[in-house]
A and B are shown apart, each in its own frame.
Chain A
Amino acid sequence: MRQPISLYLHIPFCVKKCHYCDFLSFPGCSLSRQAEYVDAMIQEIHAYREAAEDYEVKTIFLGGGTPSLLEKELVERLFHELYSVWRAAPETEITIEANPGTLSREKLIGYHMIGINRLSLGLQSTIAQELATIGRIHNYEQFLANYYLAREAGFDNINIDIMSALPGQTLISYGKTLERILKLQPEHISSYSLILEEGTDFWENAEIERALPSEQTERIMYHYTKKCLQNAGYERYEISNYAKPGYACLHNQVYWTGGEYLGLGLGAASYWKGARFSNTPDMEEYMENCSRARITENRKEIVTATQKSRMEEYMFLGLRMIRGVSIREFERRFGIPMNRIYGTVIRSYIGQGLLKIEQDRLMLTERGIDVSNSVMADFLLEE
């Protein structure tokens, strides 16, 4: 009986760095460099040949950077090699992240032909000023053009990423973006609140900070998103993710439910055979190790999962899902009632109106979502 597995592939190339982005990505990579990288990834894929026989792939996700920057031929090659090593069923969810401005009819047809059945478009906003402020390479019109192309190419499972609490954004302008994309009726919408990250252009930038909406407005934007999207038939199934019934992203849910996944490529994270680790973020090192089939040397910050860490993750990841975590499942998985481990914390937060229990499930309340980090921190256990 084959185990389920999810695969993540990282493509770290971008046209340019957006001002808020702290993902592992860099601009200015030549086509030959990209080809070399894909070669290295293919070597990495093949190194798992033997292990792959125990698994059946349930989801594949191409993230980045800008995966859609890759030449169509490279993507095709990558997937051919992938399929030659890993067994994937026809219903496997296969997603590629794409930036409007880097897509073309050929690419989209090519993606569809090799089995990619879900497209994630990084729109962020429909307002020109906001797009410029955050440093996106596209405008709303380009996005629209790409969106229609995607539909024409046969994509019937599209996600649109948008952002709230952007500098200069107001509730009105944000509402406008929501309205516009709702008209397009994508199957899935992710709305992320801007986080200022160290190392990005937005970090410790007084001008940007001045232009940010207030904390209160940000929360209103968040709650408005929920109301708006729910009214339009989308279900909020995770703190920042909304989908039409049946279209929730399976890949991401694997992360939140403690499923096993393998990260391929630069800096990719894995939860593989009871250990969490990430590949090196150093390109030279990554390519070197792949060329010598020394893929385990790419693994950094290896942490073996323990009962304790798994219990903690069950809670602080699981609570990200709106439906929360199953109390019975906790006991089944760990052999200990949830109450025994977390009884005090749970009671305290229920008392404060931040958690609630419905039937078998423990979940965040609306207010709890607002301060979920604080709540989740208390699910970390003492040594």
Chain B
Amino acid sequence: MSHIDQSKIRNFCIIAHIDHGKSTLADRIIEMTGLLTSREMQAQVLDNMDLERERGITIKAQAVRTVYKADDGEEYIFNLIDTPGHVDFNYEVSRSLAACEGAVLVVDAAQGIEAQTLANVYLALDHDLEVMPVINKIDLPSAEPDRVKDEIEDVIGLEAQDAPLISAKTGLNVKEVLEQIVTKIPAPAGDPEAPLQALIFDSIYDPYKGVIIFCRIKNGCVKKGTRIRMMATGAEEEVVEVGIFGAGQFIPGEELSAGMVGYITASLKNVKDTQVGDTVTEAGRPCAEPLPGYKKVNPMVYCGLYPADGAKYPDLRDALEKLQLNDAALQFEPETSIALGFGFRCGFLGLLHLEIIQERLEREYNLDLVTTAPGVVYRVHKTNGEMIELTNPSNLPDPSEIEYMEEPFVSAEIMVTKDFVGPIMQLCQERRGIYISMEYMEETRALLKYEMPLNEIIYDFFDVLKSRSRGYASFDYEMKEYKQSKLVKLDILINREEVDALSFIVHADGAYERGRKMCEKLKEEIPRHLFEIPIQAAIGGKVIARETVKAMRKDVLAKCYGGDISRKRKLLEKQKEGKKRMRQVGNVEIPQKAFMSVLKLDSE
């Protein structure tokens, strides 16, 4: 990696709605440029975690560097930064955008612009990126490229007439995209002689190398031996290695200079030393000011995470710390539950984020978890004038001390086809949404704007939206403000004992229904015991719903298999194992999944 001609660098990302073809296009670009042949490619190379392969979405931002020989005969360095496509992860998208000069906007030729496309474009424009539209999937019979071009111009205001019409799947016309990246996306500015100024946009933790920082060098240069300083934390270390990231591998090099995207390792062991969004500079010759930081995004959804086996509490803590390194949006702090023991209150960007973290904890760190019902942050205004932000329903003060409560509301934008406007408006109404406006995009699609309580959205709103619109609706939201609401705490009592981990805050209007459904659900989940188990939902001590789990009548082995005692033993062992997967709450054993299952209440 000799001294690079800065003018030949192109730093860009691909932004798109889910399933519009972002990853496929990324693969094609990598394939058609240097470093990997088509045979070496697996499908969707950038999605290199199992999880992502299953869900088909990208979670982590990653940078890939390739080399393109353009029609003008020159070689260009492409730094492609991958970004997630789900509404939960706007924050991740934002970090990656800050490292780029341009964004390739991929729009499905049949679906056209969706709510989230808009959201991502606005983000890109906010970061002063050059947005380059590309229309994908033109091989499909339902493709309407001209309509989509017009849509892009009308709705976003971007020039789209010479947007390449491609099929990322077959590779059709992708070359045009590469050419336009060269011609339309500006080369990075920045002075390689100036003091080092590099933006950390991602990081991963490696057990041997320590923290590996992905950064975009804005000014100056860095190489092995440079003594660097993190401007926000003040941590200083000597650089051990620099390099670029080429399609799944770290490729060490001599130096990284202005305009380049790459990685730095510096024997950083402490995850807290490298904050994503921070600026890296040279300790001996620091730059004057750090680069503008990101908007610190606050978690929208909180839940309690507890180890099924109390002894694994330290393991859970370590795992969360490691995950947080790669996921700055994840927050956590210790908490205790009478029912579940010691655990953590964790903050996430949304339900998908929560599920992904949970899965990673279980899969990568081998932890058996109990998760409590996710909730949002409520504001409780006490009669004594104090205001508390409530993340754990168990901490709700006595009703006599509460003046009023507020809950977070979001502005939601829902794009839906004409036929389903009715059902979707009804859904929003059911979820206490406040109608703001409706615009028709073209004759067939409408953009609905509602203000909705966040706690009505975090569970299954997205899924229900999809199913009621036969999959055609799309949805995006952002925090708006706190509004006063009539909220109550719903308590669940199992065998007459309150299970604090099952409490949550609901709107007074829906409380009875919610309580009833929870009791029904728990009745299904809790196995029969040797005694009858009443399940009750209560508000302020008053029982509003009740179900009963009948006592087990028979669990006896009539015949003892003669002399085959081992067989009898195995049977009993299995029974004992089954008991272990339960959490003991008083006399009742509750399966771990019961705690989470109370969320899937809408499933018909």
Contact = CB atoms under 8 A, between A and B. Distances in A.
A371 B560 contact: no
A175 B386 CA distance: 74
B558 A239 contact: yes
B559 A192 contact: yes
Contact of A371 (B530, B569, B576): B530
B385 interface: no
Contacts of B552: 371, 374
Nearest to B574: A377
A194 B562 CA distance: 16
B584 to A, nearest CB: 12
Contact of B575 (A192, A193, A377): A377
Nearest to B556: A372
Interface in A180-215: 192-195, 215
Interface in B542-556: 552-556
Contact of B566 (A63, A195, A278, A320): A278
Given A372-B556, A373-B572, 13 more contacts: A192-B559, A215-B553, A219-B554, A252-B560, A256-B560, A301-B566, A316-B569, A320-B560, A370-B554, A373-B555, A374-B555, A380-B572, A380-B576
Nearest to B563: A269
Contacts of B530: 352, 354, 371, 374
A316 B576 contact: no
Interface string A355-383: 00000000000000111111011101000
Contacts of B556: 193, 239, 369-373
B558 A269 contact: no
Contacts of A255: 560, 562-563, 565
A313 interface: yes
17 contacts: A192-B559, A193-B558, A239-B556, A239-B557, A261-B563, A269-B563, A269-B566, A276-B566, A303-B566, A312-B569, A352-B530, A371-B530, A371-B554, A373-B555, A373-B556, A373-B575, A380-B569
Interface string A1-21: 000000010000000000000
B555 A372 contact: yes
Where chain B touches its partner, the secondary structure class is: loop
A377 B558 CA distance: 15
B554 A263 contact: no
A68 B573 CA distance: 35
Contact of A376 (B554, B558, B572, B579): B572
B43 interface: no
Given A255-B560, A373-B575, A377-B576, A269 B565 contact: yes
A276 B565 CA distance: 8
Contacts of B565: 255, 269, 271, 276, 313, 317
Contacts of A261: 563
B532 to A, nearest CB: 12
B531 interface: yes
B558 A263 contact: no
B143 to A, nearest CB: 49
Contacts of A193: 556, 558
Contacts of B573: 377, 380
Contacts, number: 94
B564 interface: yes
Given A352-B531, A380-B573, A8 B562 contact: yes
Given A370-B555, A371-B530, A371-B554, A316 B566 contact: no
B436 interface: no
Given A316-B572, A371-B552, A377-B579, A240 B559 contact: yes
Contact of A268 (B559, B563, B569, B579): B563
Size category, B interface: 20 to 34
A216 interface: yes
B564 to A, nearest CB: 4
A195 B562 contact: no
> Top 6 closest A-B pairs, CB basis?
A377-B575, A193-B558, A269-B563, A269-B564, A192-B558, A373-B555
Contacts of B575: 373-374, 377
The residue among B556, B557, B571 with the most chain A CB atoms within 10 A of its own CB is B556
Contacts of A378: 576
B572 A195 contact: no
B568 interface: yes
Interface in A236-288: 239-240, 252, 255-256, 261, 263, 268-271, 276, 278
A276 B568 CA distance: 13
A275 B604 CA distance: 54
Interface string A313-337: 1001100100000000000000000
A352 B530 CA distance: 8
Contact of A195 (B558, B564, B579): B558
Interface string B108-123: 0000000000000000
Contacts of B566: 269, 276, 278, 301, 303
B169 to A, nearest CB: 44
Contacts of A130: none
A271 to B, nearest CB: 7
A142 B563 CA distance: 30
A210 B565 CA distance: 31
Contacts of B572: 316, 373, 376-377, 380
Contacts of B563: 8, 255, 261, 263, 268-271
